């Protein structure tokens, strides 16, 4: 069994031999990993090691960076996401993303959630849309806090509520994968705990990959951990093994706080 195939669950996203370049500079070197629905996968590693760059290859967010070039193979349910036939707008609905800083639209709470389903034609009526909005906000653990103020601006919510609104927005278009890029780094400990709880609840329904600087958070929310260093995937395994019994010296040095 290779590291990449540790999960016996069927992979949702499968990356093989992925390299990423920014101009001449190589930021990701030959990374292979599977992401599945049953295990939350945490990406850890020192600043600048390529965690965010790699995460962004999985829904082609790097397309928005003109100097970025991605090679290798990334498949969503076996389908090559870099194929010219892939509709990138559809892909980003199927592989949603939550960013470091909550970024709701300057629109109402309702509209923040309804926007995606509307452009993707997912609701045939106002009743359908109301149902999607309620379901998404409920799943994101926010419904009870906002159900009486759906017309208020999304930007008027607290940071933690805004981040849950962004998760509801991603959920609203019925994604298969949710990528989270340090989703709690701008939040206080209570709001962070709510997002972590939410990640537990979403596990199994979506394949989730999360970049985090916080090793305790990786240990709390994930079942699989990938340790990156200098653009390479040094070690991938069960989170409990990575934190208690890493095989690589570099992983051990990082988790014991020797660098990073």
Ligand X SMILES: Nc1ncnc2c1ncn2[C@@H]1O[C@H](COP(=O)(O)OP(=O)(O)OP(=O)(O)O)[C@@H](O)[C@H]1O
For binding to ligand X (CB under 6 A), which residues are involved? 22, 27, 45, 47-53, 65, 67, 213
Instruction: For residue 114, report the phi and psi dihedrals to the nearest 5 degrees.
Output: -75, -20
For the CB of residue 88, give the shortest distance to ligand X in the complex, in Å.
18
Q: Which is nearer to ligand X, 7 or 52 (CB)?
A: 52
For the CB of residue 219, give the shortest distance to ligand X in the complex, in Å.
17
Distances (CA, A) of 36 to 8, 77, 114, 208: 9, 10, 27, 8
For the CB of residue 100, give the shortest distance to ligand X in the complex, in Å.
8
Contact 209, 58 (CB under 8 A): yes
For the CB of residue 44, give the shortest distance to ligand X in the complex, in Å.
9
Q: Name the DSSP class of 219.
A: H
Find residue 19's DSSP bridge partners: 71
Q: Which is nearer to ligand X, 158 or 232 (CB)?
A: 232
Q: Which is nearer to ligand X, 20 or 191 (CB)?
A: 20
Cα–Cα nearest to 57, from 32, 24, 78, 85: 32
Q: Which is nearer to ligand X, 5 or 67 (CB)?
A: 67
Q: Which is nearer to ligand X, 51 or 139 (CB)?
A: 51
Q: Name the DSSP class of 118.
A: H
Number of residues written out for the chain: 260
For the CB of residue 50, give the shortest distance to ligand X in the complex, in Å.
4
Tokens linked to 238: 């069960």
List Cβ neighbours of 94 (8 Å cut-off, separation of 6 or more). 76, 175, 176, 177
């Amino acid at each position: 069994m290779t590291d990449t195939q540790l999960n016996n669950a069927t992979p949702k996203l499968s990356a093989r031999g992925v390299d990423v370049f920014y101009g001449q500079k190589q930021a990701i070197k030959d990374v292979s990993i599977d992401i599945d629905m049953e295990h939350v996968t945490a990406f850890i590693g020192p600043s600048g090691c390529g965690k965010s760059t790699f995460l962004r290859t999985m829904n082609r967010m790097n397309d928005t960076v003109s100097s970025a070039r991605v090679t290798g193979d990334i498949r969503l349910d076996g389908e090559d996401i870099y194929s010219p036939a892939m509709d990138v707008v559809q892909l980003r609905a199927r592989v949603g993303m939550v960013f470091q800083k909550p970024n709701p639209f300057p629109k109402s709470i309702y509209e923040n959630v309804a926007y995606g389903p509307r452009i993707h034609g997912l609701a045939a009526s106002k009743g359908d849309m109301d149902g999607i909005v309620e379901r998404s906000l409920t799943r994101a653990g926010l419904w009870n806090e906002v159900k009486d103020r759906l017309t208020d601006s999304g930007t008027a919510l607290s940071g933690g509520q805004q981040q849950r609104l962004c998760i509801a927005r991603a959920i609203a278009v019925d994604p298969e994968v949710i990528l989270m890029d340090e989703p709690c780094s701008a939040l206080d400990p209570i709001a962070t705990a709510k997002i972590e709880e939410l990640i537990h609840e979403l596990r199994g329904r979506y394949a989730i990959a999360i970049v985090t600087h916080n090793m305790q958070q990786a240990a709390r929310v994930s079942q699989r951990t990938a340790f990156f260093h200098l653009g390479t995937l040094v070690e991938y395994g069960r989170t409990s093994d990575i934190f208690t019994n890493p095989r690589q010296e570099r992983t051990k040095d990082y988790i014991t706080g020797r660098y990073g």
